[in-house]
C-alpha cells in the first residue's frame, strides 16, 4: 500500500481527488444531479473556464501571469457575436490579429524584460476598450455553427465532458509528451540552461503567448455558444478564476511546473463549487469565497503531501 501511494503519485492525483470528492458530495446532496441533464446543467459553463485556465497555464509555463485574460476573452466573445456572424472572413482575420497581438506581447515582455503582471494588466484596459468599441451595449448573436457545437446532444455523457477530456489530452500530449514541449517547460524551470543548449528563449515565449491567445479565443467562442449573446464585461472574472484553476490543477507558478489535465480538472472543480453551495442552500454571496476556500484547502493538502515526501 505505502509503496503504491507514494507522495508524488498522491500529489499528481490531488486535483482529481478534489473533483471526485466535490462531485460525490453534490450527488449525495442531490441524487438527481447524477443524470445526463443534471450533469449538463452542473458543468455547462466549465468549458470556457477550462480554456481560459489553459491560456493562463501557458503563461505560467514561462513564469508569467496574465491579468488581462478575462478582458481578452470578453473581447473575443464580442467579435464572435458580431463580426464572426455577419462577415466571417473579417471575423476570422480579427481573431488571427488577436493571436498575433498576444505573440507580440510575449516578444515585447521578453525583449524588454518587463513584468508580465503590469503589461497584461495594462492590456486588460485595451481589450475592454476594444470590446466596447465592437459592442457598446450587450447584445449580438453567436454564429449558428458555434451554437450547434456547444449544444450538441452527445450520447451517454454531455458534450462538455467529452470536450474537456479531449482538450486536456491533446494539450497534455503537446506540452508534456513532445520534445519541444519539454523545452517550453524548461524555459520556466531554468531559462539560462535552455538558452545555453541553443534554444531561442524569444521563440519559446512567443509560442507560449500565442498559444495563450489561441486558448483565449476558444474560451470566448465557447462562452458565446452557451450564452448566445455577448457583453464586453462577460468574462472579467475569468482572470482570477483561471489563475485559481491552474494552481488548483497542480500548476506551481514558478519553475515551469504545469499540468494541462490538472488545469482542466481545476477549472471544472471551481465551476462546481458554486453549484455545491446552492445544494447546501448557502447564499450565492459566498460563491467566490468557496472557490478561495477550496484553493486554500488544496494548497494546504499539497503542503502536507510534500512534508510527507520530505520525511
Partner 1 sequence: MESAQNRLQAVSRLPWIWAFLAAFLVWLATIIFTQGQGSAQILSAALSFATFSVIVGIGQMYVITLGPGNVDLSIPATMTFAGAVSMKIMDTQDAMVLPGLVIALGCGAAVGTFNFGLIRALRIPPIIATLSSSFLVQSAAIAYGRGIKIKPPPMLAEFTTYRIAGVPLLAICVVGLAVLMGVVLHRTVYGRSVTAIGQNQRAAELAGISVGFIRFATYLLSAVLAGLCGYLLSGFSGGASLNMGAEYLLASIAVVVIGGTSVAGGFSNLPGLWGAALFMFLLVTMLNTFGLSAGFRLILTGVIIVGVITLAGGRKQS
Q: What residues make contact with partner 1 under the rule CB under 8 A?
A: 65, 108, 112-115, 117-119, 121-133, 136, 240, 243-244, 247, 253-254, 283, 285-293, 295-296, 299-300, 303
Q: What angle do CA 252, 128, 43 make, to 5 degrees?
A: 55
Longest CA pairwise span in the chain (Å): 62
Cell of 44: 455547462
* Nearest distance from C-beta of residue 1 to partner 1, angstroms: 28
* Nearest distance from C-beta of residue 90 to partner 1, angstroms: 18
Specify the residue, 7 or 292, whose C-beta has the smaller distance to partner 1. 292
Instruction: Identify the H or E element spanning 57.
Output: helix 46-61
* Nearest distance from C-beta of residue 122 to partner 1, angstroms: 3
What distance in Å separates the CA atoms of residue 219 and residue 235, rounded to the nearest whole number? 9
Specify the residue, 122 or 139, whose C-beta has the smaller distance to partner 1. 122
Q: Which residues contact 23 (CB under 8 A, 6 or more apart)?
A: 272
Specify the residue, 144 or 309, whose C-beta has the smaller distance to partner 1. 309
Specify the residue, 199 or 253, whose C-beta has the smaller distance to partner 1. 253
List Cα–Cα distances, 282 to 41, 43, 124, 273, 285, in angstroms.
19, 19, 33, 11, 8
* Nearest distance from C-beta of residue 247 to partner 1, angstroms: 6
* Nearest distance from C-beta of residue 156 to partner 1, angstroms: 35
What distance in Å separates the CA atoms of residue 291 and residue 245, rounded to the nearest whole number? 9
* Nearest distance from C-beta of residue 40 to partner 1, angstroms: 27
* Overall size of the chain counted in residues: 311
Specify the residue, 117 or 280, whose C-beta has the smaller distance to partner 1. 117
Cell of 301: 493538502
Specify the residue, 9 or 297, whose C-beta has the smaller distance to partner 1. 297
List Cα–Cα distances, 308 to 1, 8, 302, in angstroms.
15, 10, 10
Side-chain-side CA neighbours of residue 4 (13 Å):
1
Specify the residue, 57 or 244, whose C-beta has the smaller distance to partner 1. 244
Secondary structure string (H, E, C) spanning 106-135: HHHHHHCCCCHHHHHHHHHHHHHHHHHHHC
What distance in Å separates the CA atoms of residue 272 and residue 274, rounded to the nearest whole number? 5
* Nearest distance from C-beta of residue 256 to partner 1, angstroms: 14
Specify the residue, 38 or 292, whose C-beta has the smaller distance to partner 1. 292
* Nearest distance from C-beta of residue 49 to partner 1, angstroms: 15
Amino acid at each position: 500500500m505505502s509503496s503504491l501511494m507514494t507522495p508524488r503519485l498522491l500529489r499528481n492525483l490531488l486535483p482529481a481527488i478534489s473533483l471526485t470528492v466535490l462531485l460525490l458530495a453534490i450527488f449525495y446532496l442531490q441524487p438527481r444531479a447524477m443524470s445526463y441533464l443534471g450533469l449538463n446543467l452542473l458543468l455547462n459553463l466549465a468549458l470556457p473556464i477550462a480554456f481560459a485556465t489553459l491560456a493562463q497555464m501557458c503563461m505560467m509555463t514561462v513564469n508569467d501571469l496574465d491579468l488581462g485574460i478575462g478582458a481578452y476573452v470578453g473581447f473575443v466573445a464580442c467579435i464572435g457575436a458580431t463580426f464572426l456572424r455577419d462577415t466571417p472572413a473579417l471575423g476570422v482575420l480579427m481573431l488571427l490579429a488577436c493571436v498575433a497581438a498576444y505573440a507580440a506581447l510575449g516578444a515585447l515582455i521578453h525583449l524588454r524584460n518587463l513584468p508580465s503582471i503590469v503589461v497584461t494588466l495594462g492590456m486588460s484596459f485595451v481589450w475592454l476598450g476594444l470590446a466596447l468599441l465592437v459592442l457598446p451595449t450587450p447584445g449580438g448573436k453567436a454564429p449558428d455553427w458555434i451554437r450547434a457545437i456547444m449544444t450538441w446532444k452527445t450520447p451517454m455523457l454531455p458534450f462538455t465532458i467529452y470536450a474537456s477530456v479531449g482538450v486536456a489530452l491533446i494539450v497534455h500530449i503537446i506540452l508534456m509528451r513532445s520534445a519541444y514541449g519539454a523545452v517550453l517547460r524548461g524555459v520556466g524551470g531554468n531559462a539560462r540552461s535552455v538558452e545555453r543548449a541553443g534554444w531561442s528563449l524569444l521563440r519559446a515565449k512567443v509560442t507560449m503567448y500565442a498559444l495563450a491567445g489561441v486558448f483565449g479565443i476558444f474560451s470566448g467562442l465557447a462562452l458565446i455558444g452557451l450564452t448566445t449573446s455577448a457583453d464586453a464585461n462577460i468574462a472579467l472574472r475569468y482572470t482570477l478564476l483561471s489563475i485559481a484553476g491552474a494552481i488548483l490543477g497542480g500548476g506551481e507558478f514558478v519553475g515551469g511546473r504545469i499540468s494541462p489535465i490538472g488545469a482542466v480538472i481545476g477549472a471544472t472543480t471551481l465551476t462546481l463549487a458554486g453549484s455545491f453551495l446552492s445544494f447546501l442552500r448557502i447564499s450565492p454571496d459566498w460563491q467566490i469565497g468557496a472557490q478561495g476556500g477550496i484553493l486554500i484547502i488544496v494548497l494546504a493538502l499539497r503542503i502536507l503531501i510534500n512534508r510527507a515526501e520530505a520525511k
